[in-house]
Chain A
Amino acid sequence: MEIIKEFKIQAKDFIHAGEGSMEIRNTLKSAGLEADLIQRASICAYEAEMNVVMHGGNGIISMSLDETGLVIEVMDDGPGIDDINLALTEGYTTAGVEVQQMGFGAGMGLPNIVRNSDIFNIYSQKGKGAHLKMRFRIKK
Chain B
Amino acid sequence: MKVRDIQSEFNLELAAGSRGLDRDVSDGYCGDLLSDVIANAGSGAIWLTIQSHQNIVAVAALKDLAAIVLVNGHRPDDGTRAKAEEEGIPLLLSSESSYRLAGKLFCAGIDLTAV
Contacts and interface: CB of A to CB of B under 8 A. Distances in A.
A89 B44 CA distance: 33
A91 B74 contact: yes
Given A91-B74, A91-B75, A101 B52 contact: no
Contacts of B35: 101
Contacts of B74: 90-91
Contacts of A91: 52, 74-75, 77
The 3 closest A-B CB pairs, nearest first, are A91-B52, A91-B74, A106-B50
Contacts, number: 11
B115 interface: no
A103 B36 CA distance: 12
Interface string A92-108: 00000000010100100
Contacts of B51: 106
Interface string B32-61: 110100000000000000111000000000
B61 to A, nearest CB: 20
Nearest to A90: B74
B33 A101 contact: yes
Nearest to B36: A101
Contacts of A103: 33
11 contacts: A90-B74, A91-B52, A91-B74, A91-B75, A91-B77, A101-B33, A101-B35, A103-B33, A106-B32, A106-B50, A106-B51
Interface in A77-127: 90-91, 101, 103, 106
Contacts of B75: 91
Of A91, A101, A103, A106, chain B has the most CB atoms within 10 Å of the CB of A91
A101 B52 CA distance: 15
Interface string A52-94: 0000000000000000000000000000000000000011000
Interface in B52-108: 52, 74-75, 77
